[in-house]
Amino acid sequence: MTPFFRPWLALALALLTHCAFADDLQDIRARGVLRHLGVPYANFVTGSGDGMDVEIVQLFARHLGVRYEYVPTTWVDVIGDLTGKQFRFKPTLQEIGTRPVRGDIIANGLTILPLRQKLIDFSEPTFPSAVWLLSRPDSAARPITPSGDREQDIKTTKASLKLGTTLVMDNSCLDPTLYDLEGKGYKLKRFTGSTNLNDIVPAMLKRESDMTLLDVPDVMVAMERWSGQIMVIGPISEEQRMGAAFRKDSPELRKAFNTFLAQIKQDGTYMQLVKKYFRAAPRYLPEFFKDLPARP
């Protein structure tokens, strides 16, 4: 082969690899495997082979009649691993290149955010969430007294940010730009110790900050793991929703998942998994779970 043709062959193979694995439902059934992209986070993906979202996608694969395959990834790479596209999020959203498609579905407690909806399509909600402010018990911040008005509670909680440094994480559900926290005089500290949200509370406990933003599912896990060592100050956001994510050219796979999700919510399987992995969730966010049946 002449050197002239080598770059063209490499490009053709790259495009073939991208297209061959960016499949919708019919192609996945023909391939015989559903690839689950997951980032270890809270109890959605534990990193030990289980988790609420792991079990849901395993059941979905069985429902489709295909083999389940877990594909580990990171918060930085997960959307690119699904879409086959590289993005830069700041200062503005830009597509900057391509990459291999490594999976068919993201499920790891992924919050439904407007910026993400420009890039991927979400399922019906799989779990409720919200972002809260946490601190150590020895910090200057104290838990707010709920007023019954969510907007007022958020305003009161934000005032506590002036009492110390607070860990945040760009390009995640803990991004301060999502909650109008930038340029307000708050001492925000970017968490750069890792790309794993599970590492934020340990960093705060090691006194890398006085407080941290955290979403509710991780708060529930943290309060069990570090009982007595963390304190909830109050809400930073309105209630949010999490969902499974799909490529925009996989509408039939997304439709099949939504049908399956509705089925397991009605037959009690879903609430059985909630009780297994997030038993306190119905107490913290009751509205989402109030009409869902549980298995005896």
Q: Please provide the CATH number assigned to the domain covering 10-128+241-289.
A: 3.40.190.10
Homologous superfamily assigned to 131-238: Periplasmic binding protein-like II (3.40.190.10)
228 band by pLDDT with thresholds 50, 70 and 90 = very high
Task: Over range 8-12, report the average pLDDT.
Answer: 46
- Residue 1 pLDDT more than 80? no
What pLDDT sits at residue 196? 81
Residue corresponding to tokens 């934000």: 158
Task: Over range 263-284, report the average pLDDT.
Answer: 95
What pLDDT sits at residue 16? 45
> What is the C-alpha to C-alpha distance for residues 285 and 296, in angstroms, rounded to an integer?
22
What pLDDT sits at residue 4? 47
- The CA-CA-CA angle for residues 212, 45, 73, to 5°, reads 90
Q: What are phi and psi of 126, to 5 degrees?
A: -105, -20
The token duo for 80 is: 């690119």
What pLDDT sits at residue 296? 66
- Residue 13 pLDDT more than 50? no
> What is the C-alpha to C-alpha distance for residues 277 and 86, in angstroms, rounded to an integer?
33
Q: Which has the minimum average pLDDT: 51-55, 74-78, 264-268?
A: 74-78
Question: Mean pLDDT score of the chain, rounded to an integer?
Answer: 90
Q: Can you point out the beta strands (E) in the chain?
A: 33-38, 67-72, 85-88, 94-98, 105-111, 121-122, 127-129, 131-135, 165-168, 187-190, 211-215, 231-235, 240-246
Between 246 and 114, the more confident residue is 246
Residue 64 is inside which H or E element, if any?
helix 52-64
22 band by pLDDT with thresholds 50, 70 and 90 = low
2 band by pLDDT with thresholds 50, 70 and 90 = low
What is the value of pTM for the model shown?
A: 0.85
DSSP designation for 113? -
- Residue 24 pLDDT more than 80? yes
Does 10-128+241-289 match 131-238 in CATH topology?
A: yes
> What is the C-alpha to C-alpha distance for residues 85 and 95, in angstroms, rounded to an integer?
7
What pLDDT sits at residue 17? 43
Per-domain residue ranges of the chain: 10-128+241-289, 131-238
Residue 217 is inside which H or E element, if any?
helix 216-225
> What is the C-alpha to C-alpha distance for residues 167 and 208, in angstroms, rounded to an integer?
8
- Residue 5 pLDDT more than 70? no
DSSP designation for 206? T
Q: What are the angstrom distances between the C-alpha of 162 and each of 139, 159, 210, 215, 238?
A: 12, 6, 11, 20, 20
- Residue 212 pLDDT more than 60? yes
> What is the C-alpha to C-alpha distance for residues 108 and 164, in angstroms, rounded to an integer?
31
Which residues lie across from 165 on neighbouring strands? 187
Q: Percent of the chain scored above 70 by pLDDT?
A: 92
pLDDT digits 0-9 by tens, 92-124:
777 778 899 999 999 999 999 998 999 999 999
In which order are the strands placed within the sheet that holds 165-168? Answer: 187-190, 165-168, 211-215, 131-135, 231-235
269 band by pLDDT with thresholds 50, 70 and 90 = very high
Between 294 and 41, the more confident residue is 41
Q: How many CB atoms lie within 10 A of CB 192?
A: 10
> What is the C-alpha to C-alpha distance for residues 235 and 224, in angstroms, rounded to an integer?
19
Q: Percent of the chain scored above 90 by pLDDT?
A: 78
Coil vs helix vs strand at 289: helix
